[in-house]
Amino acid sequence: MIKKKDINTKYEYGFSDKDNAIIKFNKGLNEEVIRNISKIKNEPKWMLDIRLEGYRNFLKLSNPKWGPSLEFINFDDYIYYNSSNKKSEKDWEKVPVEIKNTFKKLGIPEAEAKFLNGVSAQYDSEIVYKKLQSDLEKKGVIFTNVETAVLKYPDLVKKYFGKLVSSNDNKYAALNTAVWSGGSFIYVPKDVILEKPLQAYFRINGLATGQFERTLIIIEEGAKVHYVEGCTAPIYSENNLHAAVVECFVHKKANLRYTTIQNWSKNVLNLVTKRAKVYEHANMSWIDGNIGAGINMKYPSSILCEKYASSDCISIAVASKGVIQDAGAKMIHLAPYTKSKIISKSVSLNGGDTRYRGLVKITKDAIHSHASVECDTLILDSISRSDTVPLEMISNKLSFLEHEAKVSNISEEQLYYLMSKGLSKDEAEYLIVLGFLEPFAKELPMEYAIELNRLVKLDMEGSVG
């Protein structure tokens, strides 16, 4: 368990609302819980059957044998459904006032007005607000929660749900399959290009509440979209469990960019499975920012299944006291002329623990493929640590892979130069860290890059020097 004394009280989004749940289950997980979730959502029998199969697999599967130990987790310590709203609203003014005030503090209405094509906001177990620009609806774009998709677009859901991340993939994917609630369903028709992002925001409020959103994205041939998600939670002395599943299907000549700015409080256990299937001449970009969470285990993955498919993952992980960032990426080349790139940047400070864990696999059929991996770590003090655990396999002689890794500290020469220009030591260290993270920040829309810089500064306050 993440102990209360390890929680950074400077975490800006650590406030919590009063308990305003309309429906809240008791702690514990059993088949009745799963049947009740399905009943609340008025699901068809085929989705309940998927849930029950997930639960059976969850009971069979063990915790991962690698990475930080998760054996301390008692699954009966969590609440698996907690809802504070009767339905998701399209009109912001109809959202319950307490929830609305929380999201105002997080900047959701302003973001929507300024630079988003659509926005979705989840509070504990349910989406409370979702909206898509009307011109995109007319073009056939779908941006809703998965519950709505199950009822309105069952053929699409049946075709894609669980096809990339099955319920026997790992214990936490099985758990999500059994108790999933909320998340995003996105469908972009052929040749439709979205010029501005779609955003989803996930907020955990309840004490000991688990959040298990399911995200399913289908991008048809020649289409293009940028999806952005953010995450926060209050500071509690008990852990919250977040186990999401993301499945992305990027069809021929399509382009999907998936940006995550994770800013969980340190009492959150973030155990997520993200995977994309990328078809001929299509591209999948993962832009993955990891700040906070007591334990974070997340490895965005791309399966390059047809020729000339490509994918890149640019990620950062910032670990301060009480945080283990076990993160990375996976690229699996199944077809000829495929290309992938992984850039991993990590910062460890004040006793934080960062670990790059990655996989690149080029199969015998994936001839003339190219993969590159760059792992850079910045360690700010003598009590922090970082590890690199790469697994790389090439099964043909006509492909090649490049790997480079570097571990560095802030040099006295860098500090001296910046301080000679009138900066304090803390300001100088902050600027050096921002420069180190610049390859990630430049991939973000300007508003998000500014927010990232602010979050990094908050995480560093009082932690370096």
pLDDT digits (tens, 9 = 90+) for 295-319: 999 999 999 999 999 999 999 899 9
Element (H, E) at 108: helix 108-115
pLDDT for 456 beyond 90? no
CB 220 within 8 Å of CB 190: yes
Q: 418 by DSSP, 3-state: which? A: helix
CB 384 within 8 Å of CB 350: yes
Give me the helices (H) in 306-445, please: 412-419, 425-441
- The pLDDT assigned to 34 comes to 96
What count of residues does the chain have?
465
Mean pLDDT of the chain: 83
> Is-above-0.75 flag for pTM?
yes
The percentage of the chain sitting over the pLDDT mark of 70, rounded to a whole number, equals 77
Expressed in percent and rounded to 5, the helix, strand and coil fractions of the chain are 25, 35, 40
Residues 295 and 267: their CA atoms lie apart, in Å, by 9
146 vs 91: which has the higher pLDDT: 146
Residues 329 and 300: their CA atoms lie apart, in Å, by 5
Residues 187 and 217: their CA atoms lie apart, in Å, by 6
Average the pLDDT over 202-213 and give the result: 74
Strand partners, 144: 185
pLDDT for 210 beyond 60? yes
- The pLDDT assigned to 257 comes to 95
CB 196 within 8 Å of CB 117: yes
| pLDDT-based confidence at residue 256 (cuts at 50, 70, 90) | very high
Angstrom CA distances, 67 to 58, 64, 297, 337, stand at 19, 7, 8, 32
Residues 179 and 210: their CA atoms lie apart, in Å, by 10
| Residue in this structure with the two tokens 């199944």, named with its chain if needed | 334
- DSSP category for residue 145: -
Residues 300 and 212: their CA atoms lie apart, in Å, by 17
CB 226 within 8 Å of CB 188: no
Cβ-in-10-Å burial (0-12, 13-18, 19+) of 329 comes to buried
Q: 45 by DSSP, 3-state: which? A: helix
CB 123 within 8 Å of CB 102: yes
Residues 448 and 164: their CA atoms lie apart, in Å, by 29
pLDDT for 201 beyond 80? no
Q: What is the pLDDT of residues 108-139, one digit of tens each?
A: 545 544 444 555 665 555 555 555 566 777 88
Residues 401 and 366: their CA atoms lie apart, in Å, by 12
Determine the residue type at 397: K
- The pLDDT assigned to 20 comes to 57
pLDDT for 195 beyond 90? no
pLDDT for 294 beyond 70? yes
- The pLDDT assigned to 8 comes to 43
Residues 291 and 353: their CA atoms lie apart, in Å, by 12
Average the pLDDT over 163-190 and give the result: 95
- Residue 211 has a CB neighbour count (10 Å cut-off) of 29
Strand partners, 418: none
- Residue 346 has a CB neighbour count (10 Å cut-off) of 29
- The pLDDT assigned to 73 comes to 94
Lowest mean pLDDT among 61-70, 247-256, 412-421: 412-421
Rg of the chain in Å (alpha carbons): 21
| Residue in this structure with the two tokens 């640019």, named with its chain if needed | 314
pLDDT for 232 beyond 80? no
Residues 114 and 289: their CA atoms lie apart, in Å, by 22
CB 18 within 8 Å of CB 98: yes
Lowest mean pLDDT among 139-143, 345-349, 404-408, 433-437: 433-437
Q: What is the pLDDT of residues 41-58, one digit of tens each?
A: 899 999 999 999 999 999
Domains of the chain, residue spans: 4-298
- DSSP category for residue 336: T
109-117: list long-range contacts, CB under 8 Å, 24+ apart: 111/199, 111/447, 112/199, 114/447, 115/196, 115/197, 115/445, 115/447, 116/196, 116/197, 116/198, 116/199, 117/194, 117/195, 117/196, 117/197, 117/198
Element (H, E) at 219: strand 214-219
Lowest mean pLDDT among 108-112, 192-196, 383-387: 108-112
The percentage of the chain sitting over the pLDDT mark of 90, rounded to a whole number, equals 52
Average the pLDDT over 194-222 and give the result: 83
- The pLDDT assigned to 267 comes to 82
pLDDT for 92 beyond 80? no
- DSSP category for residue 63: P
